[in-house]
Chains A and B, each alone.
Chain A
Amino acid sequence: GDSVTQMEGPVTLSEEAFLTINCTYTATGYPSLFWYVQYPGEGLQLLLKATKADDKGSNKGFEATYRKETTSFHLEKGSVQVSDSAVYFCALSDRSWGKLQFGAGTQVVVTP
């Protein structure tokens, strides 16, 4: 079945550092790919998405490119802030239905 694998956390880095969170997927078809973010004490919020190969999703300085050849959707941000501290989830969606399959989540801690 479909699955998502993302790097384990926590990832700890200083403010203004470069952030990369790796995400790879396994799917039988051509899924849509997502990154969700969960701030402390809250539910998940959609951060960005890409619906086909080579699409780049971007939002709030975060970017991820749908790479079909490497089945990856790595999340990047050039200069993180303390407010980016959260848990980040990579997910894929079966196009025919829309149901989401989540990765285990990666906690990111940004220190001043």
Chain B
Amino acid sequence: ETGVTQTPRHLVMGMTNKKSLKCEQHLGHNAMYWYKQSAKKPLELMFVYSLEERVENNSVPSRFSPECPNSSHLFLHLHTLQPEDSALYLCASSEQGSYGYTFGSGTRLTVV
């Protein structure tokens, strides 16, 4: 247990479904991140939240919608995904201005 908890660990969804990924940290960090990790591709930074405000959105399709209701929780809402969105989605947190992230174990998403 790293201090960053992601649920669910595995998710299979159809292209017409709506689902949400959840990330929770109780490390007192004030920045949270969503990364996408696809096979044979570098880690892709999707969204950055600092002090509950979205500060970065790296050209992510609108079918991915993040939400950060407080500094301890981060969600990624998914709708009408495509098979190429199948990947490991990683959440991380950090203390802004300090060094290094703490990662969750990820959610393995399969879109069928």
Contact = CB atoms under 8 A, between A and B. Distances in A.
A112 interface: no
Contact of B31 (A89, A96, A98, A103): A98
B82 interface: no
Given A43-B90, A43-B104, A43-B105, A89 B43 contact: yes
B2 A43 contact: yes
A102 B42 contact: yes
Could you tell me the dominant secondary structure of chain B's interface residues?
loop
B96 A45 contact: no
Nearest to A104: B42
A98 B43 contact: no
B106 interface: yes
Interface residues of A, number: 22
Contacts of B4: 43
Contacts of A99: 45, 48, 56
Interface of B: 2, 4, 6, 31, 41-43, 45, 48, 56, 90, 92, 94-106
